[in-house]
A and B are shown apart, each in its own frame.
Chain A
Amino acid sequence: MSTVAVIVEYGFREAVRRKVFAVVLVLTAVFLFLFGLANHFVFRDLSRISPPSDVHVDSRTFAGAFLVGLAMFATLFLGVVLAVFLTLGVVSGDAERGLLQPLVVRPIGRATMLLARFLGAAGVCVAYVLGVYFSAVSITGLTGHWWPDQIAWPGIELAGAVLVVIALSLLGSVVLSSTANGIAVFMLFGAGLVAGLLGTIGHALNSHTIRHASTIASWALPFEALYQDGLRMITEKASGLTGFLLQLGPFGGAYVHGWPIRIWAAFYLVATLAAAIGAFARRNL
């Protein structure tokens, strides 16, 4: 256990030393500032929005959910950027630079080493994602007096989505060079987002083919499904036209959700880590 702590600490020190960490922190501060401004102006002008008399839309819920949905997308994106840059070179990159060999020859075991690197990156990224998510929710709640129907679960699912990306990035770092791995993981992330958006459109249009394709994509890339499920939960009690409009997206709706996808995501995470450990054990350094 103590060697795990040593490698976790090593990974943590490496993470906070990286320039990308500072860049993400600066971008986050800028985002939260702009997000605060947006909330201020949106909720200040809310009373001026007057839908037609026969349309019953809860404009505060609509605005609050839209803003929190936007914040969730930004949080996921920044969390994934952080996760990928912290892990894309953990094996191949560090081996090419000669950083890995002195550590691997110590009696700690490659599986322990990789798991500890996962825990180190996960600690940093989960703290970051939860911090940004709850900051954004608080900003909207305090500014617009609107709080999501579920507050904690969406944040936990966002953190879970980033954990899945970390595991994929670690697996990629064993079999690909750093650059190729970074490109591959970001392409997967992009593919997941596009599939999610298509799925939302498919549901709105009631297109079976699009719905089917996007459901498969969500199960294949469960970080997207966790994000979608998080979005669903912030307005799970919204009904009527307000609920329908929110489900149209882009920051709402979910066609794959609930415990099945959460359990699948957990299994997917463990299987990806096991594949990474297996590949690392066989890899020549």
Chain B
Amino acid sequence: MRSALAVRGLEKRYGSVQALRGVDIEVGEGELFGLLGPNGAGKSTLVKIAVGLVRQSAGSAEVAGARAGSRAARGALGYLAELFRFPGWYTADEVLELHQRLAGSRGGEAERRRLLELVALSEAAGRRVDGMSKGMAQRLGVAQALVGEPRLLLLDEPTSALDPVGRRTVRLLLEDLRNRGVSVLLNSHLLSEIELVCDRVAILLDGNVVAAGTPAELSRPRGVELETDEGVRTVEGATREDAPRLVAEMVAAGRRVYGVRVLTSTLEDTYLEAVGGETD
């Protein structure tokens, strides 16, 4: 798998504060990668190094094979910052046109129309930014990041200001992008969102990757739940492989079995455990 983003031994120090302590992360082409961690874990610093806003103290970061921050790397990515703003006197269409010109996109009006439609802002093409709600501005930010069909999209908290409908719009958009081979690094606090859409996840804590893998890999077995004529019974520690044997034993004991459910921990449980929070 070719890497859209390759980060090796990445370190960043701000004065006496060590924000990143040798992080290794690789995002493959067409992969949707989730970055999790508490505030101050180093997530935004990592993203900012990848887009060239911040220079690393040690290690390397490459975007589509080019050094992060180089012109070639910046030409291959789209970025939505956690805190961003567009000039209030620009309309949505003008914001996208500005970024088309800066990105060298030849998509023209057709691309702008398509992007506004993707983020459900078709009706707001002529509306000025200072007349938009926070959610609309954030969706416009997502559309801006998609200008020029980037190979890698880096989104820092892209749904923080969105209502459930807006979040669903962005989620569907991310899945569509993955299907089209676009790689996405998604930095979010919304664990359920990450769990729903991401192929792989890394959890950062104090500048270190403390857990990484697919959401399934990060989930631990928590037992098997059996629904019988005596009620619901949970066999702690049992796995999916144990389920047929447990059902057979119940039937042999004369019980009626109505349902079997393999229990696993959620990404939230894994996350809280990794960062030292409560799991239950």
Interface residues of A (CB under 8 A from B): 2-3, 6-7, 10, 13-14, 17, 97-99, 101-109, 282, 284-285
Contacts and interface: CB of A to CB of B under 8 A. Distances in A.
A99 B103 CA distance: 16
Given A107-B74, A109-B71, A101 B81 contact: yes
A212 to B, nearest CB: 42
Given A98-B81, A98-B83, A98-B85, A105 B55 contact: no
A104 B71 CA distance: 11
B55 A284 contact: yes
B185 to A, nearest CB: 13
B55 A102 contact: no
Contacts of A13: 87, 89
A101 B77 CA distance: 13
Contacts of A108: 102
A107 B104 contact: yes
Nearest to B90: A13
Interface string B3-26: 000000000001000000000000
B172 interface: no
Interface stretch (B29-37, B45-53, B202-210, B248-256): B45-53
A282 B86 contact: no
A10 B86 CA distance: 11
Given A6-B98, A108-B102, A98 B84 contact: yes
B55 A106 contact: no
- Nearest 7 pairs of A and B residues by beta carbon: A106-B102, A107-B75, A98-B85, A98-B84, A285-B53, A107-B74, A284-B54
* Interface SS majority for chain B: mixed
Contacts of A102: 79-81, 84, 86, 99, 141, 144
B106 interface: no
Contacts of A7: 102
Contact of B98 (A10, A101, A284, A285): A10
B7 to A, nearest CB: 17
Nearest to B147: A106
Given A106-B74, A107-B74, A99 B86 contact: yes
A99 B79 contact: no
A6 B100 CA distance: 10
Contacts of A3: 101-102, 104
A285 B102 CA distance: 19
Nearest to B101: A6
Given A102-B79, A284-B55, 18 more contacts: A6-B98, A13-B89, A97-B85, A98-B81, A98-B84, A99-B86, A99-B87, A101-B79, A101-B81, A102-B81, A102-B84, A102-B99, A105-B52, A105-B79, A107-B103, A108-B102, A284-B14, A285-B54
